[in-house]
Amino acid sequence: MKIIDKLFGHYNDESVIEYTLVNDSGMSVSCLNYGCTITKILVPDRNGKIENVVLGFENFGDYLDLSPYFGSVVGRVAGRIKHAEFELDGEVYRLTANEVPNHLHGGKKGFNSVIWKTECIEAENAVGLKFFYHSPNGEEGYPGNLDTTIIYLLNNQNELSITYEARTDQKTIVNLTNHSYFNLSGDLKRDCSEHILQLESERFLELGLDKIPTGKMIDSSNTPFDFKHGHLLKSGMKSSHPQNVLAGNGYDHPLLFTKKGENTVVLSEKESGRTLLVTTDQPCVVLYTGNHLEGPYSISGVRARNHLGVCLETQGLPDAINQPNFPSIVLNPKEVYSATTKYRFFSNTIGV
């Protein structure tokens, strides 16, 4: 196991470093100190061919100019906050309305677009990175000085674990996730329409036209949102269900796990034989099928097109601070915000 680092660019007079975590089982994970951004994940397919399974760019300029949060941590609060404001103890806080009139993914200067202090971790059976960022009181309109530590660890079971911790000196709100776009075909050979998703979820959040939850939780049985027995993502891309159409012909929805505690999400692709097992302690996963990726640019040499990647953003419910019936995302002084999500990759070797 080893960690390789290289200069990737410069941002506000600071060096942007790409760190590559390499294990002994054929997997590597590359990420930046900018936004804790995962730029590449290399894993074998059924024939042992090592290929990249996430959307990312090969130069830093594209991350600044083009990235729709490819691989980045998202915060202070992932998702949208309606009208870019919320109330805490009778005080109204105004956030940056970076998606007018709403706030999206932590604002203009969200956690995805700052340089994190980074330390390498070399443990007995894992290599990793420890990222730290101090978000000052009032940053993007959020109250409280928030100190956040995120640890990426890669082990020899082809598993990348991400743990998040945050502490505040004043009541605030926190909801962190990672916004990687997965594509198990390998080097973006195919889009994710033939990917199969399976998770234990019986309800999803209805979105309004602004893609903010209305507060209504919809029974997913017998709809394209029912993944209990696993089905192709393309069922939502070709569907006339009003919520799939509203999302831009696909999914952009929080899927609520049925049980509390630890849950799993399984994403697989028959042709490559790759499977991704996501394990999380979060109450929902926002399933986003890259419905707006199309544009005059390329992603690691592949022309950008819709559905080229799928996000599995494990997190608290979006806009929870404005929805009294959603689990709280409020963090008080002396409390610790804590979240863990693990991504384990499998490949069906020949004859297995």
- Binding residues (CB under 6 A) for ligand G6D: these are 68-69, 211, 252, 288, 292
Half-sphere exposure of 21 (CA within 13 A, CB side): 28
Residues 238, 226 contacting (CB under 8 angstroms) = no
Q: Is 236 helix (H, G, I), strand (E, B) or coil?
A: helix
> How far is the C-alpha of 262 from the C-alpha of 219, rounded, in Å?
21
Q: Is 179 a catalytic residue?
A: yes
Q: Is 83 a catalytic residue?
A: no
> How far is the C-alpha of 352 from the C-alpha of 46, rounded, in Å?
9
**CB-nearer residue toward ligand G6D: 231 or 292:** 292
Q: Which two tokens stand for residue 150?
A: 């995120």
- CB nearest ligand G6D: which residue? 68
Residues 228, 198 contacting (CB under 8 angstroms) = yes
> How far is the C-alpha of 186 from the C-alpha of 45, rounded, in Å?
8
**CB-nearer residue toward ligand G6D: 184 or 293:** 293
Task: From the candidates 105, 179, 253, 307, give the one annotated as an active-site residue.
Answer: 179
**CB-nearer residue toward ligand G6D: 49 or 292:** 292
**CB-nearer residue toward ligand G6D: 78 or 154:** 78
Least separation in angstroms between CB 188 and ligand G6D: 17
Task: List all residues 6 or more positions away from 312 whose beta carbon is below 8 Å from its beta carbon.
Answer: 180, 182, 265, 267, 278, 285, 286, 287
Residues 193, 234 contacting (CB under 8 angstroms) = yes
**CB-nearer residue toward ligand G6D: 127 or 174:** 174
Least separation in angstroms between CB 247 and ligand G6D: 7
Residues 316, 283 contacting (CB under 8 angstroms) = yes
Least separation in angstroms between CB 204 and ligand G6D: 14
Least separation in angstroms between CB 211 and ligand G6D: 5
Q: Is 153 helix (H, G, I), strand (E, B) or coil?
A: strand
Q: Which residues are catalytic?
A: 179, 313
